[in-house]
Chains A and B, each alone.
Chain A
Amino acid sequence: MNKILQSRKCLAWMLKAVTLLAFAGVLFAGLVPVPQLAEHVAYFWPDYANFATAAVIYVNLGFAPFYGALVLAWQVFSAIGRDESFTRANARRVRWASWLALAEVVYLLGGLVWFGARQALAAVTVLAFLGLTLLGLAAAVLCYALSVLILQAAEMKEEADLTI
């Protein structure tokens, strides 16, 4: 029993470490490579120079739903460490993560339309937008399905806990 408890806590810590790494990675990307890329594009393609600042702000704002999802993930992983994996609260958190992924999709499509209307998109950028949109949709659907399964598991656990 102790080994199972320890491995669960170990799992929770590993998942939290991954969450921290993801947060650090995305934060770094928004603060360093993205502005540098924008400067690079503005230098070599002056036609797009006017949109460099807007693009940097757009990308960094677009990370907000992802940061929200990381907070929810942290809460889920903390619950796993306390042996509270299958609870209604975790089902709610994962459902919220799916809404955040959907919000990200809407944000990306909005950006595609806004930048596209100003003819500020190269073909490769459009493809990147569409690729990220599909990823966001997949994440939203997967998280929603996972939340349904977690809720069912929570209901089964409640029933099992009340079986004497």
Chain B
Amino acid sequence: MLIVNLDVMLARRKMSVTELAQRVGITLANISILKNGKAKAIRFSTLEKICQVLECQPGDILEYRED
């Protein structure tokens, strides 16, 4: 399964989840869905905005783990 690790990048950039949600343009609820691993899919546009805001690569926030 794919894990979305936002906490590490948020800590590095000293950014809150609220600010991230605001700057990316998605709701806090959706950020929570991402963080909890309940998301079924992520749009490239959303991933691009997250990477732009957190100044990171997709690989910095996406991790693959065997089930």
Contacts and interface: CB of A to CB of B under 8 A. Distances in A.
Given A163-B41, A164-B34, A164-B46, 7 more contacts: A159-B41, A162-B33, A163-B39, A163-B43, A164-B30, A164-B33, A164-B43
Interface in B6-49: 26, 30, 33-34, 38-43, 46
A159 B40 CA distance: 6
A158 B30 CA distance: 13
Contacts of B39: 162-164
Contacts of B34: 164
Contacts of A162: 33, 38-41
A163 B30 CA distance: 9
Nearest to B26: A164
Contacts of A164: 26, 30, 33-34, 39, 41-43, 46
Interface of A: 158-159, 162-164
Contacts of A159: 40-41
Interface of B: 26, 30, 33-34, 38-43, 46
B6 to A, nearest CB: 11
A164 B38 CA distance: 10
B8 to A, nearest CB: 19
Contacts of B46: 164
A159 B39 CA distance: 8
A164 B46 CA distance: 7
A164 B34 CA distance: 7
